[in-house]
Structure 1
Amino acid sequence: MGSWSKLWFFDMNTVVGQELILYNDLVMVVAVAVLVVVGWFMLLFLNSRTFFGGKMNKYVYHNELLEIMWTMVPAFMLCFLGYVSLMNLYIMEVGDHVENGMKVTAHQWYWEYSYIVDFSSKEKEMDELWLSNWFEQLDFNFEISPELVEVVEEGVGLEGGDLFEGVGVKDGDCLLSVLTSGVEELKLLEMVSSWVPHVFLNCKWNYSYEVYEVFNSSVLDQGNFRGYTVTDACYLMSSVKNEMLISTMDVMHSWGVGSLGVKCDAVPGRVNSLGISPLRSGVFYGNCYELCGEGHSMMPISVAVMTLEDVSLVLKQGVLGTSDCVSTLEGVIMK
């Protein structure tokens, strides 16, 4: 993040950002070289009596080699800079092998982030464990509902084995008889917690949340940055390619983070794509870079770059805290 005492570029966290800095250095070298050469020629022409003895016309006029040089050398420099710039544009493209996809929607004056959270991922056994632990910590007043009976009857035979294995019940009929025989709530919790993960696994959830700037002084006094503290972060995976689809619901905005070397306009009526491949984990800050109204300064961006496993866990925990998830669970378990 930039500060008042920082006079140089950001410490870039992406290959794109590093390439842009190198391109800037290259352009500066070429510009300095051109200025030196042009300045040298101007010095020669202004002091022709000293350098050429008053006979400069003899060496300059009708000099075909000189004309070829001052035409071809600038053309070669421009072609070289254009080639490097074109390569940088290709690096910025999203391309294939995207590991994490998300959507960014701009509003006046806040951001909205949307993810597709896949519970049928490689960490299925781990998901089953912490989903069961999460369910056991919930405070439910249980009553047997027809939906629960239906889920129990259909539970046996699903892919992945017996859902009720390990709780002392071997088939749906036995569990159904246990549920309708006045079993204690604690015992019911133990049994239900074993198959609750399957309500969430093997499916995908759309997880969306809105992000606003935090103005609470007590929060800012805890070491947070004033003007950059937000209610939640945008989560990206490190060392993999992340694709962001950026759009707006009202006026034109621009999503950008300097340390990641990215900036993309949110234009009404269209969706722009942006590829980001962070090199290391950390928290990075940005702003809306398009004047979008009186609340333009109240749209800071906070990006949390973490490992693939950590981002997956954070998003799945976020799904479990949404009203849709709770209502789905209550619709299955409770009346």
Structure 2
Amino acid sequence: MARYSQLGFVDAASPLMEQMIFFHDHAMVVLLLIINFVLYMMIYFTVQKFICRTIYESQFTEFIWTVVPAIILVFLALPSLRLLYMLDEIGDSALTLKCIGHQWYWSYEYSDYSNEISFDSYMIPTDDLEPGDFRLLEVDNRAVVPYGCNIRVLVTSEDVIHSWSVPSLGIKVDAIPGRLNQMGFYLNYPGIFYGQCSEICGANHSFMPICLEGVDTKSFTAWLNTLEAYQK
């Protein structure tokens, strides 16, 4: 049974996800008002033995129930278009992370440096999990990024269509063979953020999780130097 904390969205870790949650709450308020009004009218006219002819054939009433929904759509469209623009906008990025989907694992590349750093990320089998690890979400090599700066993500695939998705960041980018998609995000705080492939990509679709770790800039630089020395 779901607990109270599991009935909504995951905690937002980026400004984009915060805006998505805000828009969801905004739309839900409008939706609840519409549902309550329509339910009231249905009950009212069901209880009544007849509908007044002045209401049934009123042009003014038809005008009202045509204009009001249009106004409601405007209240939903304006914040929706603003959010879509924010999702599509990518500012100056401090780091580029390239994610490549395979059947059935992810590869990551840090191509901003003279020596390109790359590694594969596989799901840890259930028998090898440590106490406190999350089943079907832990990986052997996490993608590490610094928090507090803009990150650009390039996503592609080498075989079939995958989808790189991290709910707490508000990110879902399709990985399509022969095509390079991009999206940006900004981490508000350090932590470990999980996701999964959100496109049905074959028999082991549910076994290619995403594990993103946000650290401070100093720790990220140290991790990067260690990985670069190891790959040499």
Asked if TM exceeds 0.5, the reply is: yes
Aligned equivalent of 1:42: 42
Q: Quick one: distance in 2 between partners of 1:111 and 1:281?
A: 22
Within-5 A mapping of 1:245-284 = 245-284=154-193
Are the structure 2 counterparts of residues 62 and 112 from structure 1 closer, same or farther at C-alpha, using a change threshold of 3 Å? same
Are the structure 2 counterparts of residues 298 and 62 from structure 1 closer, same or farther at C-alpha, using a change threshold of 3 Å? closer
Higher relative contact order (CA 8 A, sep 6+): 1
**Contact 2:160-2:201 at 8 Å conserved across structures:** yes
Determine which of 97, 104, 107 is the counterpart of 1:109.
Answer: 104
Q: Quick one: distance in 2 between partners of 1:295 and 1:47?
A: 55
Q: Give the TM-score, by structure 2 length.
A: 0.91
Paired-residue identity, %: 31
Are the structure 2 counterparts of residues 222 and 48 from structure 1 closer, same or farther at C-alpha, using a change threshold of 3 Å? closer
Determine which of 212, 216, 222 is the counterpart of 2:122.
Answer: 212
Aligned equivalent of 1:71: 66
Whichever structure has more helix as a proportion of its residues is: 1
**Contact 2:90-2:152 at 8 Å conserved across structures:** no
Local SS of the residue matching 2:192: strand
5+ long unaligned stretches in structure 1:
119-203, 326-335
Deviations 1:65-124, CA, capped at 9 Å, x for gaps:
x22221111001112211111111111124222111111000111110000354xxxxxx
Q: Quick one: distance in 2 between partners of 1:238 and 1:116?
A: 18
Whichever structure has more strand as a proportion of its residues is: 2
Aligned equivalent of 2:57: 61
**Contact 1:283-1:304 at 8 Å conserved across structures:** yes
Q: Quick one: distance in 1 between partners of 2:126 and 2:39?
A: 57
Q: CA deviation at 1:47?
A: 3.6
Q: Give the TM-score, by structure 1 length.
A: 0.64
Q: CA deviation at 1:29?
A: 1.3
Aligned equivalent of 1:160: none
CA RMSD, 1 decimal: 2.0
- Paired residues, what number? 230
**Contact 1:207-1:318 at 8 Å conserved across structures:** yes
Matched, 1:90 2:85: yes
Q: Quick one: distance in 1 between partners of 2:89 and 2:30?
A: 30
Q: Determine which structure has more spread, i.e. the larger CA radius of gyration.
A: 1
Determine which of 220, 226, 230 is the counterpart of 2:139.
Answer: 230
Q: Quick one: distance in 2 between partners of 1:251 and 1:318?
A: 29
5+ long unaligned stretches in structure 2:
none
State the AA in 2 paired with 1:73: V
Are the structure 2 counterparts of residues 215 and 47 from structure 1 closer, same or farther at C-alpha, using a change threshold of 3 Å? closer
**Contact 2:194-2:211 at 8 Å conserved across structures:** yes
Determine which of 301, 305, 311 is the counterpart of 2:210.
Answer: 301
